[in-house]
Amino acid sequence: MGMPRPRFLAPMIAAVALTVSVTACGGGGTEASGQAGPGAPAEKIKLTVALFSDFHYAPLYEEFKKTHPNVEIVERRAQFNDHHTNLITQLTTGAGAADVVAVEGGYVGAFTPSPEKFYNLKDYGLDKRQSEYLDWKWQLGVSNDGSSLMGLGTDVGGLAMCYRPDLFKKAGLPTDREEVSALWPTWDQYVETGKKFVAAGVEGAKFTDGPGEHFRAMVEQAPVGYYDEQYNIIAGSNPEVRKAYDMGVRMVNEGLSAKLAAFTPPWNTGIAKGTFATMVCPAWKTGTIKDQNPGEGAWDIAAVPGGGGNQGGTHLMLPKQGKHPKEAAELIDLLTSKESQIKLFKEASALPSLPALYDDPAVKDFVNPYFGNAPIGKIFTDAAKALKPQKVGPKAGDLLKAFGDALQRVEQGKQNPEEAWAQALKDVGRIK
């Protein structure tokens, strides 16, 4: 969902196939295709759902089962980057795509120029949902030419900063989330706090996991990121990108980084064992933290430097290779409904895409005991409200990876910062 989201972007989730028996008989008062006459059993239908992590959809499949008893749902998962590159290959070759596919925000722009590859959700009545959504989130799911509704949004990744109170205490830093937030209204102040942490010599722990996710957060907080308003790539010339890169280099040079790439097994272990004290934390990542079982109260949540923002978030789309678009459309309608988004927020910290829910007590007043009773409803909805969205072009994920790889080369001592930047610009120049 963003869930994971980024990875450098890449959640290292072992590829699995999860099969869940589910149903089909026209949800929402419509009749399932292939349904037989009165007294006859409905045609058996199989829907495949391709995801890049555990979206915690199993209970919602059971909800779908109540109105669709003749549908079997097969869920398959792959690593984040593999999932998206596989989808590109499947659409190119015309074979292998699932009925329902999750596409993360950094990649959705790779598909919106090609509406002919996907079913138009308007044909299944889902354009009626537009008024429910954040406008920018809805627009991300619309084809570039405006002709087709290609996807419905699941969640948004309102930004915060997760931190370890126990490690902060050892470093002589505040542990209260309000006081921690006050340490770093800016990214410069975040680095200065990190230097104090390093100076305290906390055994076995670095200040943060690595610079990659911080780089992404800074770029995505800027008014303009990798693309201008006309979808021209400006990543190499945008000073905001260089500023974020330089901040990542500072984190490395000041010894703040544990040199762990997000969503790798060592990173997962670091969350559980406390080998780093802070990490950029979009709403969905709190679910990732909990999945590593660090213990209740081991992590808490403060404001992110720079003031709000979004990272990740997902759309559900229907490739035209699917044979049962009506049932697939009904499924994504249920998975993205108001009731489902509230359930997924409570279960997996997937921040809803529906702004009316930001004032719903079920979201706004929700506190998470696993994170020291952090008021995550308020923290993440405030961050989402502060967001001013950027243009997301078709190669945004590839551009992010180019700069992420550059920072990794610096961390690993393979190149100095200027050499790594120069190579990143060459890599960006090859992205069309």
Q: What is the secondary structure of 94-119 as a DSSP string?
A: T----SEEEEEHHHHTTTTT-GGGB-
Q: What confidence category does residue 39 fall into, taking pLDDT thresholds of 50, 70 and 90?
A: low
pLDDT at 15 over 60: no
- A 10 A CB-CB count for 375 gives 17
Long-range (24+ apart) CB contacts under 8 A made by 125-129 are 125/329, 126/152, 126/329, 126/332, 126/333, 129/333, 129/336
Task: Indicate the SS3 state at residue 345.
Answer: helix
In which element (H, E) is residue 16 found? strand 16-21
Instruction: Calculate mean pLDDT across residues 333-349.
Output: 94
pLDDT at 349: 85
Taking the C-alpha atoms of residue 207 and residue 14, their distance in angstroms, rounded to an integer, is 28
Instruction: Calculate mean pLDDT across residues 231-258.
Output: 96
Task: Using alpha carbons, select from 387, 385, 354 the residue that is nearest to residue 131.
Answer: 354
Taking the C-alpha atoms of residue 24 and residue 336, their distance in angstroms, rounded to an integer, is 17
Instruction: Calculate mean pLDDT across residues 365-382.
Output: 91
* Number of residues in the chain: 432
Reported as a single tens digit per residue, the pLDDT across 171-197 is 999 999 999 999 999 999 999 999 999
Instruction: Calculate mean pLDDT across residues 367-374.
Output: 93
User: Do residues 34 and 43 make contact, with C-beta atoms less than 8 angstroms apart?
Assistant: yes
Q: What confidence category does residue 229 fall into, taking pLDDT thresholds of 50, 70 and 90?
A: confident
> What percentage of the chain reaches a pLDDT higher than 90?
74
Instruction: Calculate mean pLDDT across residues 413-421.
Output: 98
pLDDT at 19: 37
pLDDT at 148: 98
pLDDT at 24 over 50: no
User: Do residues 50 and 328 make contact, with C-beta atoms less than 8 angstroms apart?
Assistant: no
Taking the C-alpha atoms of residue 124 and residue 145, their distance in angstroms, rounded to an integer, is 19
| 8-state DSSP, 389 | P
| 8-state DSSP, 254 | T
pLDDT at 40: 55
Q: Among 86-95, 255-264, 365-374, 381-390, which is the least confidently predicted range?
A: 381-390
Instruction: Calculate mean pLDDT across residues 126-150.
Output: 95
Q: Where are the beta strands (DSSP E) in 243-320?
A: 276-282, 300-302, 310-317
Please state the pTM of the whole predicted model.
0.80
pLDDT at 185: 97
Taking the C-alpha atoms of residue 428 and residue 54, their distance in angstroms, rounded to an integer, is 31
Judged on CB neighbours under 10 Å (0-12, 13-18, 19+), 340 is buried
- Residue 22: C-alpha distances to residues 66, 70, 326 (Å): 8, 7, 15
Domains observed in the chain: 45-156+313-359 (3.40.190.10), 158-310+371-430 (3.40.190.10)
Reported as a single tens digit per residue, the pLDDT across 251-305 is 999 999 999 988 889 999 999 999 999 999 999 899 899 989 999 999 999 999 9
